[in-house]
Amino acid sequence: MACPIPKGGVQSVSEGKFRSDLYHRLTEPVVTVPPLSSRREELSYLIAIAVRKVAPELRISAKFVEACLLRRWPGNVRELLSETAQAARQTLTTGEETVGPEHLSKTAGLELGPSEDEREASIRAGSPRGRGERVQRPSSGGRAIAVCGLALALALALFLPAPAEATYSVLAYDRATGTFGGAVASCVPLDTVELVYGATNADAAARGAVMTQSYLLAGANENAVEALGKGMAAEAVLSALIDPAYDPSFALRQYAVLDERGAIANFTGPEALSLAQHQSFEIGDFVASVQGNILTDAATLALAQQAFVGAENCGLGERLLRALEAAGANLHGDSRCLVYRKPALSATLALDPRDGPPLRLSADTAAEVAENPVALLRASFDAVAADACKAPPVAGPGGGSGEGGASSGSGQGASGEGASPASGASDAGGCAHAPTERSPGWVVALALLAAVRARRRAG
């Protein structure tokens, strides 16, 4: 039997609000259940349960899940289930087939985030900090990004952040070939996902790439790319992006910035929707970062990193795609897409080599179909990256081979442009995901084992 007890049980007993004998009988053991606001990865499952109880045939829009994620739900699971069921009934009443945010009661839950007065007080109080990162105040060099067009971004959309973008991505640089690249997947439309990755043009004085996600700030990606092209270091670009003078809502954002020196700078704002994390690491000639927000769980990024590192002797394109595939496997990925039983609705892959044309691939799927956009992306990539991964080098006498690395961090169809099968996509870091033909070594092993046993019997 499970029995709920008053919050602050001991104090309730001392105040005479709860019988002491009953309290001690019930508190062996005590199971503390954290509030729903700290278990946001469960919202998609709970929403799906509530809707199916009302009408299993109803679909759930990603925007509805997002609207629920943006509320505190002080009544916890009971309030969420009740309000979601009410939204489902409202959908049936209007004769619609998809539960959307417009069906959610205005009194349901409580909007997340501090008030405007609290936000201003927080900004005046001190410097910004991201999860797991020590962020320095912008230097004069960092502030120079304003010269790169920040004033225009402020004028256009400083106080108009885009909807929350539940996104997981991989940003990387191959120092051996000079190729930058990025892979992105999200439960939002493709035209939004295509805004997350940015890289410098071939004619820029310096090179670099950036990921801008979580409540996209219009112009931030372009500004960061322009600053990298002028030779600004990754850390200075990041410091300028999260300067409150540039973006008062910096705490909502998530950034990864990578320059041609191989330096990488990350930021996950404290107000980015949970679960929001990032992780940077190096492996051989590669430096990379995985990041995401509104994730199903922390394993999403861990799986992406493991797949990237495990793609030995492969180019950057194959590593990026394997990381994206692993991150969305077995219902990991964007938590809002769990209601569709797939990790994302759209995905992109980009490669920017030092020499040669860039590669841009993208794929998206409708919510009601089971097709995974990352699988469509894989088919497109395999069509243009014809070369297989290189064979591993043979170890010399008393020696070995491999890659070493280190990591750090915090807590409808496919299309492509910029490359053809003969345009050298593999030169930009691609390699086909083709199975390797293996010799039947187990047959030899069994034969040897049988021979040994026969000899023992004869002896």
Question: How does pLDDT run across 69-120, given as a tens digit for each residue?
Answer: 878 888 889 999 999 999 999 999 899 999 988 998 888 887 544 444 444 4
Torsion of CA 118, 123, 124, 128, to 10 degrees: 140
What is the β-pairing status of strands 98-99 and 59-60? Answer: parallel
Res 371: pLDDT? 86
Q: Yes or no: say if 122 and 248 are a contact pair by the CB < 8 Å rule.
A: no
Res 292: pLDDT? 92
What is the β-pairing status of strands 286-292 and 197-199? Answer: unpaired
Helix axes 43-54, 76-93, angle to 10 degrees: 40
The CA angle 344-323-424, to the nearest 5 degrees, is: 105
pLDDT band for 165, please (50, 70, 90 cuts). very low
Domains identified in the chain and CATH numbers: 33-103 (1.10.8.60), 165-216+253-388+407-428 (3.60.20.10)
Q: Specify the 3-state DSSP secondary structure of 261.
A: coil
Rounded (to 5) percent helix, strand, coil in the chain: 40, 20, 45
- Alpha carbons within 13 A on the beta-carbon side of 48: 13
Q: Yes or no: say if 6 and 12 are a contact pair by the CB < 8 Å rule.
A: yes
Helix axes 299-310, 316-327, angle to 10 degrees: 150
Q: Specify the 3-state DSSP secondary structure of 432.
A: strand
**C-alpha 9 chain-centroid distance:** 39
For residue 215, CA distances in Å to 43, 160, 164, 323 come to: 20, 9, 5, 23
192 CB neighbour count, 10 Å cutoff: 17
Structure tokens, 167: 């996104």
Res 182: pLDDT? 97
pLDDT tens-place string over residues 336-385: 676 677 778 899 999 999 988 999 999 998 877 778 899 999 999 999 87
Backbone conformation region of residue 444, classed left if phi is above 0, alpha if psi is from -120 to 50, else beta: alpha
Structure tokens, 429: 């870091």
pLDDT tens-place string over residues 12-24: 777 777 787 777 7
Structure tokens, 356: 């040669």
Chain position carrying tokens 């043009």: 201
Adjacent-strand bridge partners of 362:
348, 415
Q: Quick one: which of 306, 301, 320, 300 has its CA closest to 174? A: 320
Q: Specify the 3-state DSSP secondary structure of 64.
A: helix
Helix axes 316-327, 373-384, angle to 10 degrees: 160
Query: Distance between CA 305 and CA 201 in Å, rounded?
Result: 27
Res 390: pLDDT? 64
pLDDT tens-place string over residues 264-299: 999 999 988 888 999 999 999 999 999 998 887 888
Res 48: pLDDT? 86
Query: Distance between CA 321 and CA 351 in Å, rounded?
Result: 11
For residue 437, CA distances in Å to 384, 391, 442 come to: 22, 12, 14
Q: Report the chain's mean pLDDT, rounded to a whole number.
A: 76
Judged against a pLDDT cut of 90, whether residue 181 lies above it is answered with: yes
Adjacent-strand bridge partners of 168:
185, 292
Q: Yes or no: say if 243 and 120 are a contact pair by the CB < 8 Å rule.
A: no
Query: Distance between CA 12 and CA 247 in Å, rounded?
Result: 45
230 CB neighbour count, 10 Å cutoff: 17
pLDDT tens-place string over residues 5-57: 666 666 777 777 778 777 777 666 667 778 887 777 678 778 888 998 899 88
Structure tokens, 326: 């692993």
pLDDT tens-place string over residues 111-164: 544 444 444 454 444 434 444 443 333 344 444 444 343 333 333 333 333 443
Q: Which one-letter amino acid corresponds to residue 223?
A: N
Chain position carrying tokens 């047959």: 443
Query: Distance between CA 217 and CA 213 in Å, rounded?
Result: 8
Helix axes 150-157, 220-229, angle to 10 degrees: 180
Average pLDDT over residues 248-254: 92
| End-to-end CA gap in the chain | 66
Res 119: pLDDT? 46
Average pLDDT over residues 198-206: 93
